[in-house]
């Protein structure tokens, strides 16, 4: 499932998929790094799954919605099948590591996507090649510090600052995360460039329980320097812990998956 | 008698002197006109070539498109608007186009390309495709068979260098092979036989056919009949993907475009990019392309188009080219200035000598009672008359050259020609027909004469009669 | 004897002499200066191409330029390098690793060609280090443990690494440059606001300032708002030798500015060792080996020698890589030739006329000479000698003035910045520094002096036709 969320949440938002028990009693004494680590570890550990999502691209003069099904294994493999709109139905994308292939039945061609193709955003959205394919670690590439507590959307959150390490291969200068104290869900994240200017805001809303987990079912990505632009991801269906083998994520499967 | 009559008589009293002085003015005017005519003619041709092979004189676009080209800044074609635009007396046709980028693939190779959705049925759409269809190609097979035929040794050697070259016309084929037009009768039939290239043009109803540049065809190893995959992002980010059969190959002037252009019928492009009924620009063909009229037409059409759509002229569309040409023009003007410097000295020299030669005469006139100011007036009139004579002669002499050079421009041969052609320009140096620049050059020469006159007047007033008589 | 008479005649009639001398001087100046101006533009472009971008000779793996594949490196670079070093005319040799990839910042990404270089060696061979924009860092000067990269201004602008901010400092700078307070006050409204592109800044300025103010101060304001944070981060990503996507963060060591937009947008330089580590290329594997010659003019003779010595590799000279440069030189020479023909024609006509008039003026004098027994041939020679003297004096004067003007403008430059945009898109500098080769200089002067002399023949012959009796009688 992590693959889907990679798609959905950029390299930054980490959805905390915790089993019912957490460590509420000791939450207040957790360090910033530990909080982030928990979220990330849980995420990594539980990430095999299946989901159905809809992505709405919003622009000042128009908007467009794409629906797709997604399968993923850990952080490394993901297979996505576009189900709507009709014109794009049947296209599949395969991610293996930091490479991406695309299959389009209309032209009957399997193409390895060069990075230049992706620089405009996947399917026209605000998700870039960097969000989807870059392998950066929220734990190792940043130093973390707890800067306070704030209420966001009616829930009390840890406010954590993630400062990118000097030689880390991440585009951002620093990030601010609002992590829900109870459920360790990242409700809001602000991404800043090295000069300290806000470039992007991400929010997780519509919290609900799906397949036994309490997660945000809507994720919004808002670029800061482009008024009227945003991308909204809605999780329609999700199944965790689906057993998938690496062999599932093959070029052959790209053509036959339904 | 009147001053001017006296002046006129004086002119013909000493014919030699008059003719010599007039001649210097004549040469000045003549040379200046010829040089400027070449310069301006060349610039105009360059502009024309670019305008007529791509941008057109006027284009209708979404107002944002010029700054941010892209499908999302295209516009929906409103037929009633087209009708209203075409109703303008200056407009002959309005032809929409849809352009965008895509990734082209054939076999294992991919290449970024520029896709142009155009109307194959309309001539004069600015693209001139029909004349660019490849007619002859020096394929390895063709080269091998030609080598067994009779050809000058030099041409045989050139064949190897020209392997895989495509040609749209016979003249260039002959030129590249180092054959003169006189040889054409001998060699052309044989060349035609071996190198003829079967090609096809597009129909508006072709939904899945494309014409591509010869360089692109080479790179992708795809020719007529092969399938071309085009993919990219369409309108509003929709996926764009389609299969097209290559129906024809064109040879475009410069490698920059020959390697990356793909032409589709506009309906096919609209389908590919999910942009039904849309265009990124519409070429507006007009009758009078002369600047002043053009801007007036542009103004009128803008009023009709109104709101979100704007009519752009070729200067706005080719801003970079314009910048370069202006730089070139400035250096051309400097060259002209230098010419004038040399000319001015020629005229002055002649005038000075004339004054020197007539010192005694002047001294005589003043001593017998002619007032200096009258003498000055008469001499000035003389010089003006000579000046006018020289100017008229110069203008008259230049006209036949200029008209001829305009109608049948100077053609380059050999290396120079090849260089021009390689850049996609016709190897000619045309002259510009008489225009406002004529008035300018004449004005400048008259200015030079005026200065000479002023100088003469001064000399006369400073004349020391005794010394003059002794001369 | 005739010689001394001729010489004295020259100085007897100052006006006449000075006129002819002036005409020849102007002719020489015209020819030489225009040649220098045209010449310099091209020479600059060629020098830039050779010293900053290409050097003289490139040796590549035969497949490399079309495939761009990392694995198409040169088989035995050691042998190639030593072969090149042994070739006469070659002064320096270096190897480069070339990788095509993407450069990204939080604002976007752009395709680039990443060149791994031997920093010390390249300092000797290329002058790109000298094109560093002051204040943006150094050419790999700082000692960091991070990967460093040297990028072009165009790329920096595209990736929004260069921003535009009106700071208190820039307002001060503008006041110091003479911008009136009325304008700087208006600018306070956008103080501190960051604009990613020049266009965005211009748009904002258009909203604040009047047209006239924009025209007058627009450029200055834009320059003062130019801002760059030293050591900004940029991510370079590319394929490694196992065909996997890889990449790393790089710190910008410095930004360079050339006159070639295309080059600036595509070419980024990193130390060889860093690139090897990331791509997995081994020590000694190079994609390109470059040789520098002691003189541009040796290119034609040395290139074939190297081609023959290295048949299994692709050997190209800068002329073959930038064919348009070679062509333009030829083209310009032709145009210049035509121009000179016209100038010489104008000069000839001018001198003929002046001399003819002068002969007319001297009818009496010449008639006198003829009457006292000077034969025709001698008169002819006398007039010709006068012309020769005048032309030579004019020639020297012309050479002197041209040399002076070229010397001055060669240093200060002729400013065509108004047309910079068009010229720089093609790699031409908007500042002309007229220069001319000594051989051209002399050749042109000689040509013009000869023209002067030849122009005098017709008038001199005319002088011979004078009837001494009529001449003596005067007008």
Residue C343 pLDDT greater than 70, yes or no: yes
Q: What average pLDDT score do residues B107-118 get?
A: 85
Final residue of a structural domain among C188, C203, C223: C223
- Predicted confidence band of residue C151 (pLDDT cuts 50, 70, 90): very high
In this prediction, residue C256 carries a pLDDT of 92
Q: Is residue C318 part of a domain?
A: no
**Cβ-proximal residues to A233 (8 Å cutoff; 6+ apart), any chain:** A8, A9, A53, A54, A55, A56, A218, A219, A220, A221
Instruction: List, in sequence order, every residue forming a beta bridge with A157; answer none if it has no partner.
Output: A150, A180
Distance of CA B193 to the CA centre of its chain: 35
Contact between A108 and B243 using a beta-carbon 8 Å cutoff: yes
Mean pLDDT of chain B: 83
Q: Cβ–Cβ of C105/A171 closer than 8 Å?
A: yes
- Of A255 and C389, which is predicted with more confidence? A255
CA B143 – CA B177 distance, rounded (Å) = 12
Check: CB of residue B355 under 8 Å from CB of residue C16.
no
B236·A124 Cβ contact <8 A: yes
Nearest CB neighbour to C229, from listed A119, A195, A199? A195
Q: In whole angstroms, what is the distance from residue C288 CA to residue C272 CA?
A: 12
pLDDT at C100 over 60: yes
Q: Single out the residue of B102, B57, B87, B140 nearest to residue B311, CA to CA.
A: B57
Residue C276: partners with Cβ closer than 8 Å, 6 or more residues away: C97, C116, C282, C283, C285
User: Are both C170 and C154 inside the same structural domain?
Assistant: no
- Side by side, which strands form the sheet with C194-195? C194-195, C163-165, C226-227
Q: Helices marked H in C227-317 — which ranges?
A: 261-266, 272-279, 299-309
Which structural domain, as residue segments, surrounds residue A215?
A: 2-256
pLDDT for residue B327 is more than 50: yes
Chain B residues whose CB is inside 8 A of the A123 CB are 237, 239
Are B405 and B37 spatial neighbours (Cβ–Cβ below 8 Å)?
Answer: yes
Q: Which of C111, C235, C248 has its CB closest to that of A171?
A: C235
Q: Which domain holds residue C215?
A: 166-223
**What is the number of domains present in chain B?**
1
Q: Compute the distance between CA of residue C56 and CA of residue C315 in angstroms, rounded to an integer.
A: 11
Say whether A167 and C147 touch across the interface (CB within 8 A). Answer: yes
The reported pLDDT for the residue numbered A27 is 47
Interface check C339 vs B, CB under 8 A: yes
**C214 lies in the same domain as C238:** no
Q: What is the dihedral of CA B166, B170, B172, B174, to 10 degrees?
A: 110
Query: Nearest-CA neighbor of C126 among C139, C136, C114, C137?
Result: C139
- Whether the per-residue pLDDT at B469 is higher than 60: the answer is yes
Where among C291, C312, C333 does a domain terminate?
C312
Distance CA C183, CA C179 (A): 7
pLDDT average, residue stretch B389-410:
84
CB B405 within 8 A of CB B44: no
Higher pLDDT, B410 or B241: B241
pLDDT in tens, C9-43: 778 777 777 877 887 788 778 777 877 777 777 77
**B184-198, pLDDT tens digit by residue?**
778 888 888 888 888
Residues C217 and C235 in one domain: no
In a domain, C320, yes or no: no
Q: How confident is the model at residue A23 (pLDDT cuts 50, 70, 90)?
A: very low
B23 vs B13: CA distance, rounded Å:
17
Residues C82, C67, single domain; the answer is yes
Domain with residue A79: its CATH number is 2.50.20.10
Min Cα–Cα distance to chain A from B140, Å: 31
Nearest-by-CA chain C residue for B324: C422
- Examine residue C208 and state whether it is found in any structural domain, yes or no: yes
Residue B417: the pLDDT is: 64
Check CB contact under 8 Å for C358 and B360. Answer: no
Cross-chain Cβ contact B112/A116 below 8 Å? yes
pLDDT of res. A7? 46
Which has the closest alpha carbon to B52: B429, B425, B430? B425
Q: Range of B352's domain?
A: 3-50+321-470
If one counts the domains in chain C, the total is: 3
Minimum CA–CA partner of B242 in chain A: A107
Look at residue A9 and tell me whether its pLDDT is greater than 50.
no
Q: Indicate whether C365 and C446 sit together in one domain.
A: yes
Q: Is A225 in contact with C196 (Cβ distance < 8 A)?
A: yes
pLDDT at A49 (0 to 100):
84
Q: What is the pLDDT of residue A20?
A: 30
Size of interface A-B (CB pairs under 8 A): 48
Q: Are A185 and A215 in contact (CB under 8 A)?
A: yes
For strands C226-227 and C163-165, give the pairing.
antiparallel
Q: For residue range C158-193, what is the model confidence (pLDDT) as tens digits?
A: 888 888 888 888 888 888 888 888 888 888 888 888
Lowest mean pLDDT segment, chosen from A8-22, A242-256, C42-56, C318-332: A8-22
Q: Are residues C139 and C270 in the same domain?
A: yes
Mean pLDDT of C86-97: 89
C-alpha distance from C119 to closest chain B C-alpha (Å): 33
Q: What is the pLDDT of residues B339-357, one digit of tens each?
A: 887 778 777 777 777 777 7
Read off the pLDDT of residues B4-52 as tens digits, 9 standing for 90 and up. 888 888 888 878 778 877 887 888 888 888 888 888 888 777 777 777 7
- Number of B/C CB contacts below 8 angstroms equals 143
Specify the DSSP class assigned to residue B274: T
Whether residues C426 and C386 share a domain: the answer is: yes
pLDDT the model gives residue A25: 41
Cβ–Cβ gap C245/A193 under 8 Å: no
Which tens digit of pLDDT belongs to each residue from B242-288?
A: 999 999 998 877 666 788 899 999 999 999 999 999 999 999 888 88
In a shared domain, residues C403 and C453: yes
Sign of CA dihedral C194, C197, C201, C204: negative
Q: Is residue C405 part of a domain?
A: yes
Average pLDDT over residues C309-333: 79
What is the C-alpha separation between A146 and C417, in angstroms, rounded? 53
CA A24 to chain C, closest CA, distance in angstroms equals 36
- Count of structural domains, chain A: 1
C228-285 pLDDT, tens digit each: 888 888 989 888 888 787 888 898 999 998 877 888 889 999 999 989 989 988 888 8
The CA R_g of chain C, rounded to the nearest whole Å, is 32
Instruction: For residue A88, give the nearest of B110, B229, B239 by CB distance.
Output: B239
| DSSP assignment letter at B371 | -
DSSP β-bridge partners for residue B233: B239
Residues C345 and C400 occupy one common structural domain: yes
pLDDT tens digit string along C395-404? 888 888 888 8
Question: Helix or strand or coil: residue C105?
Answer: strand
Q: Do A124 and B237 touch (CB under 8 A)?
A: yes
Checking if the pLDDT of A209 tops 60, the result is yes
pLDDT reported for residue A3: 41
* Residue labelled with tokens 């142009």: B116
Question: Which is higher by pLDDT, C302 or A168?
Answer: C302
Residue C196 pLDDT > 70: yes
- Range with lowest mean pLDDT among B71-85, B127-141, C409-423: C409-423
Whether the bond between A181 and the residue before it is cis, its omega within 30 degrees of 0, is: no
Residue A45 binned pLDDT confidence (cut-offs 50, 70, 90) = very low
Q: How many percent of chain C have pLDDT more than 90?
A: 6
DSSP conformation class of B54: I
Nearest to C415 by CA among C429, C404, C401: C429
Number of Cβ atoms within 10 Å of the Cβ of C200: 15
Chain A neighbors of C110, CB-CB under 8 A: 119
Q: Higher confidence at residue C324 or residue C190?
A: C190
């Amino acid at each position: 499932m992590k693959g889907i969320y990679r798609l959905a949440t950029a390299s930054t938002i980490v959805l905390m998929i915790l089993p019912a028990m957490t460590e509420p009693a000791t939450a207040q004494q957790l360090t910033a790094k530990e909080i982030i680590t928990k979220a990330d570890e849980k995420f990594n550990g539980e990430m095999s799954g299946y989901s159905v999502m809809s992505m709405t691209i919003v622009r000042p003069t128009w908007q467009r919605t794409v629906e797709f099904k997604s399968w993923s294994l850990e952080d490394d493999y993901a297979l996505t099948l576009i189900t709507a709109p009709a014109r794009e139905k049947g296209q599949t994308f395969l991610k293996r590591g930091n490479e991406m292939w695309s299959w389009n039945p209309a032209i009957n061609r399997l193409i390895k996507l060069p990075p230049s193709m992706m620089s405009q955003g996947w399917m026209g959205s605000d998700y870039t090649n960097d969000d989807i394919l870059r392998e950066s670690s929220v734990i190792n590439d940043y130093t973390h510090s707890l800067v306070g507590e704030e209420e966001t959307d009616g829930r009390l959150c840890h406010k954590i600052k993630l400062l990118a390490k000097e030689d880390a291969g991440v585009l951002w200068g620093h990030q601010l995360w609002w992590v829900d104290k109870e459920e360790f869900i990242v409700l809001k994240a602000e991404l800043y460039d090295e000069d300290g200017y806000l470039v992007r805001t991400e929010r997780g809303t519509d919290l609900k329980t799906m397949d036994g987990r309490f997660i945000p079912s809507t994720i919004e990505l808002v670029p800061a320097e482009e008024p009227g632009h945003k991308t909204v991801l809605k999780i329609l269906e999700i199944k965790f812990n689906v057993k998938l083998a690496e062999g599932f994520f093959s070029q052959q499967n790209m053509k036959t998956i339904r | 008698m009147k001053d001017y009559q006296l002046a006129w008589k004086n002119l013909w009293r000493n014919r030699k002197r008059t003719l010599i002085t007039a001649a210097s003015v004549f040469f000045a005017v003549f040379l200046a006109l010829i040089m400027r005519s070449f310069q301006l003619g060349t610039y105009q041709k360059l502009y024309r070539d670019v305008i007529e092979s791509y941008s057109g004189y006027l284009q209708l676009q979404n107002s944002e498109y010029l700054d941010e080209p892209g499908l999302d800044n295209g516009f929906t074609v409103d037929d009633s608007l087209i009708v209203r635009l075409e109703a303008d007396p200056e407009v002959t046709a309005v032809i929409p186009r849809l352009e965008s980028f895509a990734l082209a693939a054939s076999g294992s190779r991919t290449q970024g390309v520029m896709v142009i959705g155009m109307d194959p049925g309309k001539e004069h759409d600015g693209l001139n495709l029909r004349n660019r269809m490849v007619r002859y190609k020096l394929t390895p097979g063709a080269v091998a068979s030609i080598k067994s035929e009779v050809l000058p040794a030099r041409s045989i050697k050139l064949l190897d260098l020209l392997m895989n070259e495509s040609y749209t016309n016979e003249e260039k084929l002959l030129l590249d092979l180092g054959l003169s037009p006189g040889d054409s009768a001998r060699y052309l039939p044989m060349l035609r036989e071996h190198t003829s290239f079967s090609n096809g043009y597009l129909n508006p109803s072709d939904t899945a056919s494309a014409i591509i540049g010869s360089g692109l065809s080479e790179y992708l190893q795809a020719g007529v009949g092969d399938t071309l995959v085009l993919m990219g992002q369409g309108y509003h980010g929709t996926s764009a993907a389609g299969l097209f059969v290559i129906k024809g190959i064109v040879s475009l002037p410069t490698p920059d475009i020959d390697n990356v252009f793909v032409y589709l019928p506009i309906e096919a492009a609209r389908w590919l990019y999910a942009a039904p009924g849309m265009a990124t620009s519409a070429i507006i063909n007009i009758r009078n392309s002369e600047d002043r009229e053009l801007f007036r037409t542009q103004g009128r059409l803008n009023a009709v188009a109104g709101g979100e759509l704007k009519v752009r002229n070729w200067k706005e569309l080719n801003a970079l080219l314009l910048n370069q040409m202006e730089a070139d023009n400035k250096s051309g003007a400097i060259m002209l200035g230098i010419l004038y410097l040399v000319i001015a000295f020629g005229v002055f020299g002649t005038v000075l000598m004339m004054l020197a030669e007539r010192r005694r005469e002047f001294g005589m006139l003043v001593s017998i009672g002619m007032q200096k100011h009258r003498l000055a007036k008469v001499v000035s009139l003389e010089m003006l008359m000579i000046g006018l004579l020289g100017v008229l002669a110069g203008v008259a002499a230049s006209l036949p050259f200029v008209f001829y050079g305009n109608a049948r421009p100077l053609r380059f041969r050999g290396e120079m020609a090849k260089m021009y052609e390689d850049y996609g320009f016709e190897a000619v140096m045309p002259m510009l027909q008489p225009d406002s620049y004529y008035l300018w050059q004449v004005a400048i020469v008259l200015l030079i004469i005026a200065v000479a006159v002023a100088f003469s007047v001064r000399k006369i007033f400073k004349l020391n009669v005794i010394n003059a008589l002794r001369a | 004897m005739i010689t001394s008479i001729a010489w004295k005649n020259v100085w007897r009639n100052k006006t006449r002499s000075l006129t002819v001398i002036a005409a020849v001087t102007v002719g020489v100046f015209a020819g030489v200066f225009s040649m220098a101006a045209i010449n310099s533009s091209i020479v600059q472009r060629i020098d830039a191409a050779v010293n900053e971008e290409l050097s003289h000779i490139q040796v590549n793996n035969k497949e490399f330029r079309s495939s761009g594949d990392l694995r198409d490196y040169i088989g035995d670079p050691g042998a190639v390098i030593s072969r090149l070093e042994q070739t006469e005319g070659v002064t320096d040799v270096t190897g480069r690793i070339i990788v095509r990839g993407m450069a990204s910042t939080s604002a976007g990404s752009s395709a680039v060609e990443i060149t791994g270089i031997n920093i010390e060696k390249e300092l000797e061979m290329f002058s790109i280090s000298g094109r560093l924009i002051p204040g943006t860092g150094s050419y790999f000067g700082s000692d960091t443990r991070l990967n460093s990269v040297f990028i072009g201004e165009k790329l920096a602008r595209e990736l929004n690494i260069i921003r535009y901010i009106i700071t208190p400092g820039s307002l001060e700078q503008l006041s110091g440059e003479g911008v009136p307070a009325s304008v700087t006050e208006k600018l306070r409204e956008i103080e501190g606001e960051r604009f990613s592109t020049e266009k965005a800044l211009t748009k904002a300025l258009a909203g604040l300032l009047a047209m006239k103010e924009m025209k007058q101060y627009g450029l200055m304001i834009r320059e003062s708002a130019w801002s760059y944070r030293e050591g900004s981060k940029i991510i370079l990503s590319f394929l490694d030798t196992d065909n996997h996507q890889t990449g790393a963060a790089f710190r910008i060591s410095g930004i360079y500015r050339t006159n070639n937009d295309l080059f600036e947008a595509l070419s980024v330089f990193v130390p060889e060792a860093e690139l090897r580590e990331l791509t997995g290329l081994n020590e000694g594997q190079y994609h390109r080996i470059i040789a520098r010659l002691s003189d541009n003019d040796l290119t034609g003779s040395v290139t074939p020698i190297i081609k023959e010595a290295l048949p299994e590799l692709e050997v190209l000279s800068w002329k073959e890589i930038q064919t348009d440069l070679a062509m333009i030189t030829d083209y310009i020479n032709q145009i210049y030739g035509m121009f000179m023909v016209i100038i010489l024609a104008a000069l000839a006509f001018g001198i003929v006329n002046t001399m003819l008039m002068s002969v007319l003026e001297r009818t009496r004098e010449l008639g006198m000479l003829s009457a006292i027994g000077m034969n025709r041939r001698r008169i002819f020679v006398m007039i010709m000698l006068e012309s020769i003297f005048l032309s030579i004096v004019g020639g020297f004067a012309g050479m002197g003035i041209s040399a002076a003007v070229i010397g001055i403008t060669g240093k200060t430059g002729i400013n065509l910045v108004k047309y910079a945009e068009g010229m720089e898109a093609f790699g031409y500098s908007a500042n002309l520094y007229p220069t001319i080769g000594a051989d051209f200089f002399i050749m042109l002067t000689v040509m013009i002096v000869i023209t002067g002399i030849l122009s005098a023949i017709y008038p001199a012959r005319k002088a011979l036709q004078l009837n001494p009796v009529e001449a003596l009688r005067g007008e």
